[in-house]
Amino acid sequence: MDLFLQDPPCLPSAWEGDRALKDALRFYLGDHFAAAEVILDELGRWATGPETLRMVMRAENEPATLMQYDAWGHRVDEVAVSDAYTELGKFGVEHGVVALAYEPEPFGDLARVVWAAAIYLWGPSSALYSCPIAMTDAAARTLFEHGDATDTEIAQRLISRDPGFAWTSGQWMTETAGGSDVARTSTVARLQGDEWRLYGTKWFTSATTSEMALTLARPEGAPDGSRGLGLFRVHRMLDDGTPNAILVRRLKDKLGTRSMPTAELELEGALAHPVGDPLDGRGVAKISTMLNITRLHNALASAGALARGHAWASSFAESREVFGRKLAAQPAHRVTLAELAVDKAAALALSLRCAHLMGRMEHGSATAEEVALFRGLTPVTKLSTARWAVAGAAEAMEALGGVGYCEDSGMPALVRNAHVLPIWEGTTNVLSLDLLRAAQRSDSFTALLTDCERAAAVAAGTAGMEQPVAAVRASVDELKKRFEDAASDLDRLQATARSIAMGAATTYACALLCEQSTALGTEGAPTAAAARRLAERGLTGPAPFASDIPNDL
């Protein structure tokens, strides 16, 4: 008897098969949609093409390595990466995964929306080259905003489409004492003659092969805490072609992101260039420009992971027969696929709105309310999408059954790589606290809730949208109450932070989907269905502890 062998699932073009993305872009781009489609169609076909998927698998199986000494005992610290990883990155650079955001034509202040869609399509097939790209984009913007003429010149390399000229950048923030609490940075900047030299250990530095990095250090004599930190640009190689004084202690043995090297670095008097005045105490404020951009990249990586997981699960369900009918027709499984699609739509809604606001800020067309909204929305978007991605990747793996648990299906890599998303660039709790800080220092939380109400108002009166609109309004009231109830007691407020941040994420996603489906008219039916489902699940999420956290739990 012949052994039954299941046909492998076959992914459609990542662009062609993604209705949610197309609908969201129609909403944002209007007349620019057709021009964007040309770019995104090419990226989408590449992203899920068989040759690309083979390269992704090869990069995953060829992790980065470090050779510290040559045969003769000389310290060389050579980090090697897979050719496949490099090739996947090169394709992205040439196709504008940084450049699109900086080119004034043809999209103007909508460039970040098109760029976001490009990252979302390319990222899941980049074998984590998306990480250096995130930091490169973020470093470019930081240099343009806070640097001098030399910084601006360097930034041209970061935004280039020419792989022969383009550089990537790292972001060295984390030290042994301060991953989240960056104020504890202990790297010292010493002025020797007219050169700044850095001394210290950077504990978690991703994309070690990048040509440069931005990093924080404390100039000698500067005060403790974050107000004493300066921002510096450091190059891996010096202008004369010799290596800068940077030793690689070891590469990290990580759960995932294996093709992308992450190292511990020893700065032994590394030559560094201050970005702006290193003594102005604005190092953390300056690197925040960078953080907001890498956090948006992170959110797009999360949305992209959800999209890829959903695409694998859906393709498999179309070709698999169980218990007498297609898996895709089994009611229990249809629910699973639909829930994944809703998570993806929510992640896309938040990420694209964040990108939309970022583009307007970068082009000077954002209102003061939009600037405040962006400040609150960035942590909310990053933290929520990352959690959805972890859950969604696991769900997608389960949907492929035992094969999904095997390395050669690619699903374990999806799951492993998703797990970094809630960790780097600020954990869920750190970002929840960031939202609170933003709320206390500016009206960003108010701006977020106000925009929920604005978007819901657009959809009010549209047939079929009564329930999600009412749910958004009720949730806004509940979130205000949670904030106000805890506002007078900082510990209580901090204990409530995650519930407020997650509630705000789901509520805003629902509000945005309500608005978009209304604008899209009959074309917006799937978007409306996603909004309704979010509302059915409940927008505010679990209430915080009603009183002090019990010690005996």
Q: Which residues bind ligand UCC (CB under 6 A)?
A: 130-131, 134-135, 171, 173-174, 179-180, 182-183, 206, 226, 284-285, 288, 291-292, 294, 297-298, 301, 375, 424-426, 430, 434, 437, 441
Residue (182 or 265) nearer to ligand UCC, CB: 182
Handedness of CA 78, 84, 90, 93 (dihedral sign): negative
Nearer to ligand UCC, 171 or 475 (CB): 171
By beta-carbon distance, which residue lies closest to ligand UCC?
A: 226
In the three-class reduction of DSSP (H, G, I as helix; E, B as strand; rest coil), residue 240 is classed as: coil
Q: Report which secondary-structure segment, H or E, holds 249.
A: strand 246-251
Q: For tokens 């042994």, what's the residue? A: 176
Q: Output the smallest distance, CB 303 to ligand UCC, in A.
A: 11
Q: How far is the CB of 125 from ligand UCC (least distance, A)?
A: 12
Smallest gap from residue 350 Cβ to ligand UCC (A): 15
Angle at Cα 353 formed by Cα 431 and Cα 117, nearest 5°? 105
Residues in the chain: 553
Which residue lies nearer to ligand UCC by CB, 444 or 462? 444
120 exposed, middle or buried (CB, 10 Å; 0-12, 13-18, 19+)? buried
Q: Quickly list DSSP for 289-337.
A: HHHHHHHHHHHHHHHHHHHHHHHHHHHHHHH-EETTEEGGG-HHHHHHH
Q: Name the strand (E) or helix (H) holding 246.
A: strand 246-251
Please state the φ and ψ torsions of residue 267, each to the nearest 5 degrees. Answer: -95, 115
What distances in angstroms separate CA 539 from CA 98, 383, 536, one per listed residue?
Answer: 34, 16, 8
Considering only CA atoms, give the Rg of the chain. Answer: 24
Cis omega (within 30 of 0) for bond into 104: no
Residue carrying structure tokens 């690197």: 287
* 531 close to 513: Cβ distance less than 8 angstroms: yes
Q: Residue 443 is encoded by which pair of tokens?
A: 């009206």
Residue at token pair 């260039």:
273
Least distance from ligand UCC to the Cβ atom of residue 231, Å: 11
Both structure tokens of 463:
């047939």
Please report, for the chain, how many H helices and E strands are present, in that order.
17, 11
Nearer to ligand UCC, 37 or 60 (CB): 60
Other CB atoms closer than 10 Å to residue 442's CB: what's the count? 15
> Nearer Cβ to ligand UCC, position 100 or 135?
135
Q: Please, what is the minimum distance in Å from the beta carbon of residue 242 to ligand UCC?
A: 26
What SS3 state is found at 136? helix
| Three-state SS at 357 | helix
Cα 127 from Cα 58, distance rounded (Å) = 9
Q: Looking at beta carbons only, is 437 or 481 nearer to ligand UCC?
A: 437
Query: What are the C-alpha distances in Å from 26 to residues 31, 34, 108, 455, 527?
Result: 8, 9, 16, 17, 12
Q: Which residue in 275, 315, 327, 354 sits closest to 512, CA to CA?
A: 354
Rounded least distance, CB 304 to ligand UCC, Å: 9
Contact between residue 325 and residue 141 where contact means Cβ atoms under 8 Å apart: no
Select 418 or 539, whichever has its Cβ closest to ligand UCC.
418
Residue with smaller CB distance to ligand UCC, 76 or 285: 285
Q: How far does the chain reach from its first CA to its final CA, in angstroms?
A: 58
Q: Helix %, strand %, coil % for the chain, to 5?
A: 60, 15, 30
Measured from the CB of residue 89, what is the shortest distance to ligand UCC in angstroms? 12
Nearer to ligand UCC, 337 or 448 (CB): 448
Helices (H), 460-543: 466-486, 490-520, 525-537
